[in-house]
Structure 1
Amino acid sequence: MTPWILPEPMLTTAVDSSELPAGHAAEIKWDGFRAGLSIDAGHVVLRSRNGTQMAPAFPEIVAAAAQLPDASALDGELIVWESGRLAFERLQDRLRRRGAAAARAAEEWPAHFVAFDLLRLSGTSTTGWSYRRRRAALEQVFTDRGLGAPWALCPSTTDPAMVREWLTWTTATGLEGILFKPLDSLYRPGARGGVEEVQAARDDRGPRGRGHGISSGAPDSAPGPVRRGRLPALHRPHHHPLARRRAERRRLPHPRLGPGRASLGWLVVLSGVGQHPTARGRPGRA
């Protein structure tokens, strides 16, 4: 049998309008490393958009892949969170490390894998499924497996008001912008044009010093928690008891995630002591 190979990532097209088109979902666009991840009979592949093999540099992600269904694959973003912002330079530093140095870096600057698409599930390729169906299956994996850090489920919304809110939070946290994905679209490896990208304006503190602009591709963010320098992610509260207690203390908002999306869960904090299994005793590292 021919071994299954991770497909090339689907690419985005920049657009000027930040209004969510009809029949689309929005996701947050993270400032990190685009990554494809697959696990097959215990063998884990973690590959960048350009084909770089990243598994040796991120041992905590490789170890956590055992929590996923076998013969499955995700499309997502590797990120590091530091002092209330995405820290792209930490990712760059980590990519150069191997062996013991990579293990130490995983403790000092642990990464999250923010999943926003499902490419394979228990041996079945899902690239021929609609975005709507892939998204529902991805959420089910998070629910059934009780996934927590280092896994994070990228928020998705069909509510235009939520998209406008997201765009107001991106500057302070280094988020890149918003992605618009047609609900009925298939995953087209290597193709450009199916996903629109709206890049948010950013200030001089942007992690890579980018200019201003707008793009649409993958959404993510939360109002109060983001402004206070916490990493938001969509997750069910009973899967993350520590995060739930912190969320209750902070009285985090429970935003609607668009028509019919309220059942997806609420936004919870993933950063902080005890949230990331490789960051024990390291306040503010997540």
Structure 2
Amino acid sequence: MAVALAAPVAKLPRGAGWWYEPKFDGDRAVLWRRDTVRIQTRAGRNATAQWLDIATAAMNLPPDTVLDGEAVIWRDGRIDFGAVRSRASARGRRLTDLLHRYPASYAAFDCLMLAGQDLRPRPYAERRAALLDVLADARPPIQAVPATDDPEVALDWYEHLPAQGIEGIVAKQASSPYRAARIWKKIRHSETTDAVVVGYIGPAGRPRRAAVRLPDGRRVLSQALTPLVAAEVARLAEESGPGQRARTDDGEEYTATGDGMLVEVEAGTTRHATVAVLRVR
């Protein structure tokens, strides 16, 4: 099932009919409770094995229920997205170990089916009521995300919850149905962090993108490099000499270089596949 998404905006939308939810920093997960439980990723992949603790708890939900939400992992009082990605990519013994060491939770924000009835054409306000109803007796690890129609409360969440791993606010119109498009709005915190350049894409003399290693160990590709940063990466490529081919955590191929170049990246873009390199340190 294709999922609804949120378009980034600079300011929190205000006015009649807007509702707001904290944006949890996890992996998108559609939870299907039919005869058994299946957990689907944003891309449509079956990830039930990676989130087996959530799937087991979901067997207590009414049959023929489908929820939309985020799979998250809490560590030391905050959401740890690095632990989420480790769990999502793990297999075999490592996955079994992570299931025990870092139990997951499910932050549900929408109810798409209830008692076999498709609720997607219904307004958000009705789907929200259905979500609260179906989760009325639920206990962790499955819970509904908070929601408010007060923009001041939403801004208070935005300002004070980042330390807990809340990466922003999602705004939704009370009258809007659920569609596979960017029907919601989101504001996110944009912070910077350091990363290490480990490779590049394109000619050695004119690299187009950099491969970087983030603080949590993930290797990802950057967005298009600015001319100044590209020149520095080209210098690194020259010093490293002919590089071997390597792959990012998402399987994208790049030419490897030696470590040593530190760059500042926009942390608000590191959650998914690419980062924005701002400058060389």
Equivalences for residues 202-281 of structure 1 within 5 A? 202=191, 204=193, 210-211=266-267
**Other-structure match for 2:147:** 156
- Rounded to whole Å, the distance in 1 between the matches of 2:56 and 2:92 is 14
**Other-structure match for 1:39:** 33
Residue 31 of structure 2 contacts residue 38 of structure 2 at CA under 8 Å; is this kept in 1?
Answer: yes
The letter of the residue matching 2:42 is R
Confirm whether residue 51 of structure 1 aligns to residue 107 of structure 2: no
Deviations along 1:200-254, whole A, 9 cap, x unmatched?
24465997974359xxxxxxxxxxxxxxxxxxxxxxxxxxxxxxxxxxxxxxxxx
How many pairs are equivalent?
202
Confirm whether residue 110 of structure 1 aligns to residue 103 of structure 2: yes
Residue 76 of structure 1 contacts residue 115 of structure 1 at CA under 8 Å; is this kept in 2?
Answer: yes
Instruction: Report SS of the residue matched to 1:67.
Output: coil
Question: Which of 3, 7, 12 is the equivalent residue of 1:13?
Answer: 7
> Residue 97 of structure 1: CA displacement?
2.8
TM-score normalised according to structure 1 size? 0.66
**Other-structure match for 1:142:** 135
> Residue 65 of structure 1: CA displacement?
1.4
**Other-structure match for 2:171:** 180
Larger proportion of strand: 2
- Rounded to whole Å, the distance in 2 between the matches of 1:203 and 1:149 is 32
Larger gyration radius, structure 1 or structure 2: 2
Larger proportion of helix: 1
> Residue 154 of structure 1: CA displacement?
0.3
Structure 2 runs not aligned, ≥5 long: 195-214, 219-264, 270-281
Identity of aligned residues (%): 31
Residue 112 of structure 1 contacts residue 149 of structure 1 at CA under 8 Å; is this kept in 2?
Answer: yes
The letter of the residue matching 1:149 is P
Residue 170 of structure 1 contacts residue 202 of structure 1 at CA under 8 Å; is this kept in 2?
Answer: no
Deviations along 1:170-216, whole A, 9 cap, x unmatched?
3322321001100010001x212x20111124465997974359xxx
Confirm whether residue 82 of structure 1 aligns to residue 138 of structure 2: no
**Other-structure match for 2:65:** 72
- Rounded to whole Å, the distance in 2 between the matches of 1:168 and 1:149 is 25
- Rounded to whole Å, the distance in 1 between the matches of 2:72 and 2:154 is 21
Q: Which moved more, 1:85-94 or 1:166-175?
A: 166-175
> Residue 89 of structure 1: CA displacement?
1.0
- Rounded to whole Å, the distance in 2 between the matches of 1:51 and 1:116 is 18
- Rounded to whole Å, the distance in 2 between the matches of 1:172 and 1:89 is 15
**Other-structure match for 2:209:** none
The letter of the residue matching 2:145 is C
Give the alignment's Cα RMSD to 1 decimal: 2.2
Deviations along 1:244-282, whole A, 9 cap, x unmatched?
xxxxxxxxxxxxxxxxxxxxxxxxxxxxxxxxxxxxxxx
The letter of the residue matching 2:96 is A
Q: Which moved more, 1:54-63 or 1:165-174?
A: 165-174
The letter of the residue matching 1:177 is G
Residue 20 of structure 1 contacts residue 180 of structure 1 at CA under 8 Å; is this kept in 2?
Answer: no
Confirm whether residue 95 of structure 1 aligns to residue 82 of structure 2: no
**Other-structure match for 2:236:** none
- Rounded to whole Å, the distance in 2 between the matches of 1:73 and 1:87 is 25
The letter of the residue matching 1:191 is A
> Residue 19 of structure 1: CA displacement?
4.6
The letter of the residue matching 2:61 is L
- Rounded to whole Å, the distance in 1 between the matches of 2:159 and 2:69 is 23
- Rounded to whole Å, the distance in 1 between the matches of 2:22 and 2:151 is 13
Structure 1 runs not aligned, ≥5 long: 1-6, 214-286
